[in-house]
Chains A and B, each alone.
Chain A
Amino acid sequence: MSKTTIPTGGITDGTIASGDLADDAVTAAKIADAVTLGKVLQTQSTSSTSRTTVSASTFTGCGLSDTITCATTSSKVLVIVSAEFDNDSNNASVTNTHAIFQLTRNHSGISETEIYQVREGHNRPENSGMDMIFIGNLAIIFLDSPSTTNELTYTLNVKNDPSTSGTQIPANNGESHKAMTLIEVGA
């Protein structure tokens, strides 16, 4: 009887249970090759304390981006962005000030797509006669489906509303970071 075949009647109850297999019959590598669903295939991350100041009415890069190249077109990319920022209205006569953040995916320089946008702001119902300054924590967790194996670049941009305001990222306290993590998940 060959050791590489299962003889007729060898599986007496008709079911292959773990006890019927030799210890080395299925290697970890074979399992890894066969099972990718939900598995973390790779991670990329970047972090910086370099403070970028932006005062603009259109989306402008704020010094945070990272790249990843997926193994398969079916992979998902979990994008995690975290940063502390501050926003100053620079204007005593306004009653609100906002920093608007945008996350984009650039596909090998072929196209750029906005995949997420969030507005962080501060409002005062009455004009206080003073500039408004607020500090906020930006947290973006977004599951992207890029459907490509080309290199992808994810970038964080910011613009200001009103455009007289300015945003610093990370906040100007000497301790903050801005960080982006990209996780390719098999699907």
Chain B
Amino acid sequence: MTTFVKAIKTINPSAEFKFENDDIDNITWLNGTTPIPKSDIVAKKAELQTTYDNNKYQRDRKTEYPYLGEQLDKLYHDMTAGKLDATGEWHKTIKAIKDKYPKE
């Protein structure tokens, strides 16, 4: 999800401003901030939304990857068993999640 605030901050991280009810026709620019044209804000918001939507698979995977300590433990046991290849438990676990949420 993205917002007008995120769009403005992406264009100018130092921008200071306020507005009411997402009305970007009436932004009050604060503390000497140079106004950003509405068209630039709208375009940047659309761009950020596209990126966000395209990265859904990353967010889905991230929530299902095991905790880092658990992954390292799997690697340790795979090493001990001489399975640091596609037959190891770590590889199988990670591959199952990647297959579940393929990169589009």
Contacts and interface: CB of A to CB of B under 8 A. Distances in A.
A78 interface: no
B21 A50 contact: yes
Most buried by B among A52, A53, A62, A166: A53
A164 B11 CA distance: 12
Nearest to A128: B62
A56 B16 contact: yes
A170 to B, nearest CB: 11
B65 interface: no
A76 interface: no
Interface string A71-112: 000000000000000001011000000000000000000000
A164 B30 contact: no
A131 B48 CA distance: 14
B30 A56 contact: yes
Given A56-B30, A57-B31, A58-B30, A63 B5 contact: no
A52 B17 CA distance: 11
A50 B17 CA distance: 17
A55 B31 contact: no
A54 interface: yes
Contacts of A63: 20
Contacts of B13: 91, 164
A54 B14 CA distance: 13
B100 interface: no
A164 B20 contact: no
Interface in B1-35: 3-6, 8-9, 13-22, 30-31
Contacts of A54: 17-18
A126 to B, nearest CB: 11
Given A58-B30, A88-B5, A50 B15 contact: no
Given A56-B31, A57-B31, A163 B5 contact: no
A45 interface: no
A67 interface: no
B9 A164 contact: yes
Interface of B: 3-6, 8-9, 13-22, 30-31
Given A51-B21, A55-B9, 20 more contacts: A50-B21, A51-B20, A52-B18, A55-B5, A55-B8, A55-B15, A56-B16, A56-B17, A56-B30, A56-B31, A58-B16, A58-B30, A58-B31, A60-B30, A61-B18, A88-B3, A88-B6, A163-B16, A166-B3, A166-B9
